[in-house]
Amino acid sequence: MFANRKADICIKLSALVCASTLLISADAAKENSKVTTLGYNEISTYELSTNRYTHLDSEKKAENLLKTEDHELVLQNDNLELWFSEETASVRIVNKKSGYIWGGVGEDPEDLNRRWSQVAQSLFTIEYYDAELNSKRVAVSDSSVIAEYEYTDDGFTCKADFTEQGISLEVKVELEDAGISIEAPWQSIDEYGEAKLYALYFVPFLGTSHGDDVPGYMFVPDGSGALIRFREPRKYATMYNAKIFGNDPGLDVLNEANELLANRPNDYLVENRSATLPVYGVVHGVRQNAYLAEVQSGAEYSRITAYPAGVTTDYNWVSARFEYRSIYTYSTGRDGSGFQNLQQEKNQFNAKLKIWFLNGDDADYSGMAVKYRNELISRGVLNQERIDMNIPLRLDIAGSEVYKGLFLGQRKLTTAKQAEEIAQKLLKENITNLTMVYKGWQNKGISGAYVTQTAFSSGLGGTKAFKTLKESLESSGGRLYLAINASTANKSQLNLSTHAVRTISQKFASKTRQNSNVLYSETYYIRPQKQKEILNNASKKLEGFNLYLDNLGTTLSSDFTRGKATDRINSASLIKNAVSEMDRQLSMSNVNLGLLEFTNEYFDAPSSNSQYLFETDSVPFLQMVLKGSVDYYAEYANMGFYSDIALLKMAEYGMYPSFFVMAADNSKLKDTPLEDYYSLAFSDWFDVISKSYKFLNKILSKTEGAKIIQHRVLDKGLVKIKYDNGIDIYINYFGENKQIDNITFPGKSAAVKEGSHEIEFIRP
C-alpha cells in the first residue's frame, strides 16, 4: 500500500555509503581510525539532549508529602494499607515496604479552584454533556452527589447519585496483593436526567506533583515508550491524549493534515505514534517509589491522557479516560466538514483499572516493563520466542504493483524465482535466518488485488514457484510470509457498499492522503464482519503458507452500517476469533494487545515516541515487554531509519533489521503507488543489508531467547542494557571514548559483556 515515511533519523539517500563492521579492543580504540562510515554518523550533544533518547535519572530522594490524617484505614494486607475519607472521597495508599504514601493532592490546595480541587482528591470523576452539549466535570466528592459506601473484607463499593446531572453508578474498589483494582460495572450506570455520561476517570491525580516539587516522571505508552519528567509549569499547546486501540474510523475524521503546529518540533517528521499498550505509570524518586496502571477492561473505548504541569493546572497528572460517548463530526462534505454531534447510545463495557505499586530497584520504567511482561506471561499472552543461533533478518519483497498508463496495468517487480535468488545471495553472506514477506503475489499486485483474491499471479511464477520459494527458505532456516490486507483497501479493491465501514454519519470510512496526485489518495476501512470473512477465506485457500496480516493489529473500527452495526468490542472479538483459528505462523505490524498472543513476528516496532514537546525521553518499554517472547523488527532501514546511530539504537532496543526491496530497477516504481519509496532495488542495498546485519548479529545473537531486565543510562550518551541470561550490552553514542567503572568504551560503539569473559567492543 502507500508508503509511510517513518524517519527517526532523516537522511538523504545520496549520502548513504556502505558500513564496515570492526571488532576492536579498548586499548586499540585510539589507534584505529580507518572505519568506513554510513552518512550522518556523528551525534551532537544537542541531539542526545532531545526526547529521542533516554536521559540520566535524578538521584534526588522523594519525600513523603502526603499524610493519612483525616482518613480512615479501611483495608490492609502484607504489602499495602488503603486509607479513605468519605467526606472528600480521597484515597491514600501506604506501601508498607517503603512507608511511602500515594494519593492525590493535599487538602484544599490554594492554586486550584473548588471544582479542580475535588477532581484532584476524589476516587473518581465523571464528565458529562448537558442539554446544550456543554462538556463539564464533576467529582464524586461534590456536595450535590449522594454517595453511599459499603465495606467488605477485601474492598468497598461506592454507590453515587449525581443528582443535578441525573446520573448514577457504582464503583468497586478491591485491595489485592500488590495493588488495587477499581471497576465500574456497566449495569450499574443509570441516566435518568437530561445529562449524558461522556467519560469516567478513576483516581486521575494519583501520584500527582506540583511542577517539579517531586523528583520523578510520568510514563505513557507512546510509541516505544515516553517519559514526561516533572518540571516547572510550562505553557504547552496540548497534552498527551491517545486512544488505546488507535482512532476509530467509524467515529474519527482521519484526513489529518501534515501540519505539526506547536505540538512537536518540526525539524523532521515522524508519525504520531499510537498508544501501543493499555498502561501508564508514575515514578516518585527513581528506583524509590512507583506505580504501574493497566486498563484491564474497556480498553476499546479508553484513552491514556497525561497533563504536564502548565496544561490547565500547574500539576502533573496522568490517567485512563473511559469514554461512554464521543462527540463526532457529522460529515456533510468529502473534506470531513460538518457539524458537531453527540453519540446518543452509550458504549457498553465494564471500566476496570488495575494499579500495582513498586518500590526499590523495581520503581522505574524498567521495573514497570518487567512487571507488565510477567503479568502478560502469566495470562498466556506472551510465550517463549523462537531461539536461533543467529538473529533473523526481515526482508519484504515487492512482487508486483499496478501502474498508471493509458490503462491500469500490472508491473512485475520481483518474481518468486528472483526472490529465491535474492535469498541465495544473502545465504552466501551467511544470512540464513531470513524472514521474507512477499507483497503483491496476487494478480494486479499490492494495490490492485481484490480483497478476496487468493490466486497467485502466473506472471510471478504461479503456485508452484511460490511453494518452491517457501521450501527453499525453510531448508536454509528461514520462513516465508504472504502479505494480505483484510483491514484497508482502495476503491478498486472492494465493493464500497458491501465491504466498507459506515461511519456514524453514514459516510464510507476512509483516510485521505494530502497528495491528491498519487494513484490512490483515499483508503477505505473494511467492515469487521467482512474482515473475518476475508481472513477465513485466505486461511482456507492458502493452506500451508504463513501469513502477514497487514494493518490488522493497528486498526480497530466500529461500524454503523444500518441493520448490521458492530461496536469496537464486538469488532475486536470477531477479528480475534478469526485469527485464533488460523493454524499457522502469523506476523503483524504494531499489533494491539488483543492479537499479541497470536503474533509470531512483530514488525515495525517504533524506536521513539511521537516527540511532543512535553515528552522528555524515549524509552524501550515496548521492547522490554516483548523481548524473549516475540521476535520484533525495526522499521524499514532503507526508508530513512539508517545510519551508524540508527544501528546503535537498534542494538540498544534489541530490534532486528528490516528492509523493503525488489529485483527490478528503481525506475519501475514510477507511476505506481510505491513511488514514494524512492529506492527499493536490492542491488543498491545488498552491501548495506549484509554489513548492518552482521553488525547487529554480533551483538544480539548473544541475547536470543533472553529477556531485558534493566535499561539504564550510565552517562550522557552511554546506555547499559541487562539481560536475564547474564549478557550486558553497552551503547556509546558519542564519537569519543567514555570511561565508566574502569572500562573505556570506544566512541560510537557497542560492547558485549558476558559474565567474567573479556568485554567485546563492536563498531558499525
**At 143, is the secondary structure helix, strand, or coil?**
coil
Residues of the chain with confidence (pLDDT) below 50: 1-40, 254-269
Note the helical H segments in 507-637.
Answer: 528-541, 568-580, 621-626
Cell 542526545 found at? 48
Supply the pLDDT for residue 333: 65
Whether the CB-CB separation of 171 and 124 falls below 8 Å is answered with yes
Supply the pLDDT for residue 375: 97
**At 74, is the secondary structure helix, strand, or coil?**
strand
Residue type, 708: I
Whether the CB-CB separation of 200 and 322 falls below 8 Å is answered with yes
Bridge partners (DSSP) of residue 760 are: 752
Q: Cβ contacts of residue 706 below 8 Å, gap of 6+? A: 627, 628, 723, 724, 725, 727
Using CB atoms within 10 Å of the CB of residue 306, give its burial: 0 to 12 exposed, 13 to 18 middle, 19+ buried: buried
Cell 457498553 found at? 348
Please count the helices (runs of H) and the strands (runs of E) in the chain. Answer: 12, 45
pLDDT per position as a tens digit, 304-362: 999 999 999 999 999 999 999 988 777 666 665 677 788 888 999 999 999 999 999 99
Closest residue by Cα to residue 590 from 277, 296, 250, 279: 277
Supply the pLDDT for residue 335: 62
Whether the CB-CB separation of 589 and 369 falls below 8 Å is answered with no
pLDDT per position as a tens digit, 378-409: 999 999 999 999 999 999 999 999 998 777 88
